[in-house]
Structure 1
């Protein structure tokens, strides 16, 4: 039974964290410690009062789009993950397909969707795409965390395939599916906001773009504050579901079983067939739909642009890679360190939770002026943006993983009088390895997309700058060439993280 003081601390400490955060915000705003782009809360509240009706309608529009798109993406991700559970050999092609789809930068998809019938639904599409990959990946791994003993028991009692799925595999996957839902909350909202930049009539994204153009920082931060509050509400609900699933079904820290190996020949065929099918679909779409060059080039035109601008693209790719991989590494260290600290000092978990949620929830268009004001508008700001956006999945999954202790292990450590540090080093950290490796794969696949988006917004840096400049010059083939390079880098980053995971898990299980 939980003590009243413990329940009180879970209420008081988050409030204390919010108060400290607001106090620092007020100080920074009034003294312009972080530049003019950070107004004090009093100015933000004034903007809320003055433009309340507009912001309310915008919030309803964005929330509805994020909810619809996010649920669609989440549902598709659960279905794909379930297919990998029923047909394990489908895991490789399905995951590779979602990796490729996820690697396509949203900023490149938007202009294409604006020309077709999908234009009114761009925010929902972006929200769904932002959620799909992480849901598929995390839940698919969750299905594979079933213990060998559990499988053997169900096999001995002659359970049917459906019974094994419903009573064994699905319950094992639920905690990871709940983690995916927590990651999906800010992703869906930010996806919807970004989609609103491509022609929506109303929404928080529209308000933010208008505020930036008119230098209305109070209104900009009012929209960002509403975004955070909406995210907090839905994130809190997702966290309750995650805790309920963990309490009901447990996290044993079981290493996911290996994906059934395909023959070398079949693996090669699949590796070639998936991107080739996407290229063929692209070619047919352009030809049969009579898509003008200004909207989308043909694949061969992109290949020609890759050859013509090879040196510029190579140099730009180098800059983007430094920001993306450097941000991934630092974000991973920050996320893991923060998870370890709040594990050792539990009351900090409640107090720091508002800050941990604010960072990935505030749209990057708001962060750019803040970071730029402190660090200058250059590669350092792109790098800082990558760190801020990469740390969140590491923090969420690391914190869940640190609680994934084998049944009865805490009692055993208590019997031997082990302290918190020893429990952390000998029990919690080893149990968290599978969750950490999933988080690294997620962050690795997204780090180049984050870097490209930051470069695109600022017009500085590598591939994002090239993409922006070529679009302004109406060089569609050149802009798509930059996107093609970014896709390749994103896929390679994911493949590298997957290879690292495979080697570590092989060593871990030895």
Structure 2
């Protein structure tokens, strides 16, 4: 047996060992009741699978189909938009800003709107597509713009057309990051479909989860969650094979992506105003043309009045949300980077951690909240913990890929000079991971606000999510949408801050 096959077999065995350890811990925690009734032992979950196998199979088929359709649509559109940023550099700012704005709309606000439209039967597919779109545009776009300056100059010397340069240079260079985008998209599409089923579906894993929670059928609830994880793990493994093949064939980019094409101050100001203004205008036209009832969606002017009338309450709520989001983002980033470093230093540990890393972002947040709440209580601590759990995954995936993006032969060179493992990590692996870490930071920064709001909405605790929930209960639609507008501003601001930090780090990293 070749060394490569032995290494692959060893990795598979260690992964299986990691799954076994995780399942054993699940059984013990459930038996002892250390996390409350909300997490039953594995044996009870398996019994629920045996008892309700037909129901679970039909639900999994429905959710899987929706996630596949929506995910492929979102991934395809994301790849197209990412390619446009490479074909037409001047379009990058507009494309990225629009993607950031769309991503900043909380699903808790989008769901009720879609329920009132003809799109209601397709809410799961829409949510799956939107869940995938943003990360694909950002990750794949950075990959397509990561070709070295010398390579680009060579194509310019030969006056190669942009289309030809994209297919011969930009696309091959970006394939490893496209594979990373696919891996991020797998749990996102499935989770998006499940969330969408809560707002409009007759069957599916999301519907089954809601029904199980209402009836306190925790065994069936976790059975549905386990099926979701198995689906996600299977497709994620395919993404891992694609990523390895792409790196082996084209190697991972050894430098940060080219910055977005510089634009003048006036043009930048125009874009900053034009993109939001276009969305607000489309919002107003929708209200007028479709004669949308006020209880479904208020006009922009009513939202502005509601925001101005109680600005202090919204700012105070925003402060709580930002604290939870920033704290969760930093802690999640440290956890993700720490796990990636451990997996790099000890590949056997990485193989064992892989199942746990995939489990957390796949299981819907509504399943985690009762578990975390039973330990920390149903307050801002649980919002913070939920943000940590959901924010660490992009950092872990991209950091692990970046840490393994060392130039060919560099490890041998360091060994020749007697450099130890920690020296290679500090002077070789960590610097090589900077581009991937910066992408992960941008993705997680934009998502942290939305995750915090979703957790606040589910628990009725904390900041903007609580305000949104309370205003909707009393049918104050304008007030609830005002909370959404503040959330969008915060999410966009978080992404802009992360982008600015990335530029500063990239300048120092290149020097």
TM-score normalised by the chain length of structure 1 = 0.98
Using the TM superposition, give the Cα deviation of residue 36 of structure 1 relative to its aligned residue in structure 2, in angstroms: 0.8
1:207 partnered with 2:208? yes
Q: Describe the SS at the equivalent of 2:462.
A: coil
Using the TM superposition, give the Cα deviation of residue 260 of structure 1 relative to its aligned residue in structure 2, in angstroms: 1.6
1:38 partnered with 2:39? yes
Q: Which residue of 1 aligns with 2:470?
A: 469
Q: Which residue of 2 aligns with 1:325?
A: 326
CA distance in 2: counterparts of 1:137 and 1:252, whole angstroms: 15
Is contact 1:253-1:401 (8 Å) kept?
no
CA distance in 2: counterparts of 1:158 and 1:301, whole angstroms: 54
1:234 partnered with 2:235? yes
Is contact 1:252-1:405 (8 Å) kept?
no
CA distance in 1: counterparts of 2:84 and 2:9, whole angstroms: 43
Which segments of structure 1 move beyond 6 Å, counting only runs of 4 or more? none
Alignment of 1:211-290 (within 5 A): 211-290=212-291
Q: Which residue of 1 aligns with 2:192?
A: 191
Q: Which residue of 2 aligns with 1:182?
A: 183
Q: Which residue of 2 aligns with 1:307?
A: 308
Using the TM superposition, give the Cα deviation of residue 157 of structure 1 relative to its aligned residue in structure 2, in angstroms: 4.2
CA distance in 2: counterparts of 1:264 and 1:159, whole angstroms: 30
Alignment of 1:438-457 (within 5 A): 438-457=439-458
CA distance in 2: counterparts of 1:28 and 1:190, whole angstroms: 25
Using the TM superposition, give the Cα deviation of residue 268 of structure 1 relative to its aligned residue in structure 2, in angstroms: 0.2
1:371 partnered with 2:372? yes
CA distance in 1: counterparts of 2:89 and 2:5, whole angstroms: 47
Alignment of 1:46-65 (within 5 A): 46-65=47-66
Is contact 2:39-2:218 (8 Å) kept?
yes
Using the TM superposition, give the Cα deviation of residue 404 of structure 1 relative to its aligned residue in structure 2, in angstroms: 1.2
Using the TM superposition, give the Cα deviation of residue 407 of structure 1 relative to its aligned residue in structure 2, in angstroms: 3.2
Q: Describe the SS at the equivalent of 1:439.
A: helix
Using the TM superposition, give the Cα deviation of residue 202 of structure 1 relative to its aligned residue in structure 2, in angstroms: 0.2
1:195/1:362 CA distance change after superposition, 3 Å: same
Using the TM superposition, give the Cα deviation of residue 4 of structure 1 relative to its aligned residue in structure 2, in angstroms: 5.0
Superposed CA RMSD in Å reads: 1.1
| 1:221-257 deviation line (CA, Å, top 9, x unaligned) | 0000001000000100011101110111001421212
CA distance in 2: counterparts of 1:162 and 1:21, whole angstroms: 48
Using the TM superposition, give the Cα deviation of residue 349 of structure 1 relative to its aligned residue in structure 2, in angstroms: 1.1
| 1:124-173 deviation line (CA, Å, top 9, x unaligned) | 00000000000000111111110122223333444333321111110011
Bigger mean CA offset, 191-200 vs 405-414: 405-414
CA distance in 2: counterparts of 1:475 and 1:156, whole angstroms: 61
Q: Which residue of 2 aligns with 1:72?
A: 73
Q: Which residue of 1 aligns with 2:345?
A: 344
Is contact 1:252-1:406 (8 Å) kept?
no
Q: Which residue of 1 aligns with 2:147?
A: 146
CA distance in 1: counterparts of 2:291 and 2:418, whole angstroms: 73
Q: Describe the SS at the equivalent of 1:294.
A: coil
Is contact 2:403-2:432 (8 Å) kept?
yes
Q: Which residue of 1 aligns with 2:356?
A: 355
In structure 1, the gaps of 5 or more residues are none
1:4/1:277 CA distance change after superposition, 3 Å: closer
Using the TM superposition, give the Cα deviation of residue 52 of structure 1 relative to its aligned residue in structure 2, in angstroms: 1.0
CA distance in 2: counterparts of 1:44 and 1:331, whole angstroms: 29
1:161 partnered with 2:170? no
CA distance in 2: counterparts of 1:12 and 1:149, whole angstroms: 43
Bigger mean CA offset, 427-436 vs 149-158: 149-158
Q: Which residue of 2 aligns with 1:497?
A: 498
CA distance in 1: counterparts of 2:274 and 2:8, whole angstroms: 55
CA distance in 1: counterparts of 2:163 and 2:264, whole angstroms: 28
| 1:100-128 deviation line (CA, Å, top 9, x unaligned) | 00000011001000011100000000000
Q: Which residue of 2 aligns with 1:106?
A: 107
Q: Describe the SS at the equivalent of 1:461.
A: coil
CA distance in 2: counterparts of 1:488 and 1:433, whole angstroms: 27
CA distance in 1: counterparts of 2:162 and 2:291, whole angstroms: 48
Q: Which residue of 2 aligns with 1:90?
A: 91
Using the TM superposition, give the Cα deviation of residue 3 of structure 1 relative to its aligned residue in structure 2, in angstroms: 5.0
1:264/1:158 CA distance change after superposition, 3 Å: closer
CA distance in 2: counterparts of 1:162 and 1:89, whole angstroms: 15
Q: Which residue of 2 aligns with 1:129?
A: 130
Is contact 1:252-1:407 (8 Å) kept?
no
CA distance in 1: counterparts of 2:158 and 2:411, whole angstroms: 31
Is contact 2:87-2:163 (8 Å) kept?
no
Using the TM superposition, give the Cα deviation of residue 310 of structure 1 relative to its aligned residue in structure 2, in angstroms: 1.4
CA distance in 1: counterparts of 2:388 and 2:5, whole angstroms: 38
CA distance in 2: counterparts of 1:161 and 1:113, whole angstroms: 39
Using the TM superposition, give the Cα deviation of residue 50 of structure 1 relative to its aligned residue in structure 2, in angstroms: 1.2
Using the TM superposition, give the Cα deviation of residue 7 of structure 1 relative to its aligned residue in structure 2, in angstroms: 2.9
Using the TM superposition, give the Cα deviation of residue 442 of structure 1 relative to its aligned residue in structure 2, in angstroms: 0.2
1:149/1:215 CA distance change after superposition, 3 Å: same
Q: Which residue of 2 aligns with 1:115?
A: 116
1:479 partnered with 2:480? yes
Q: Describe the SS at the equivalent of 1:36.
A: coil
CA distance in 2: counterparts of 1:178 and 1:312, whole angstroms: 43
| 1:182-236 deviation line (CA, Å, top 9, x unaligned) | 0000000000000000120000000000011111100100000001000000100
TM-score normalised by the chain length of structure 2 = 0.98
Bigger mean CA offset, 49-58 vs 410-419: 410-419
CA distance in 1: counterparts of 2:396 and 2:200, whole angstroms: 34
Q: Which residue of 2 aligns with 1:413?
A: 414
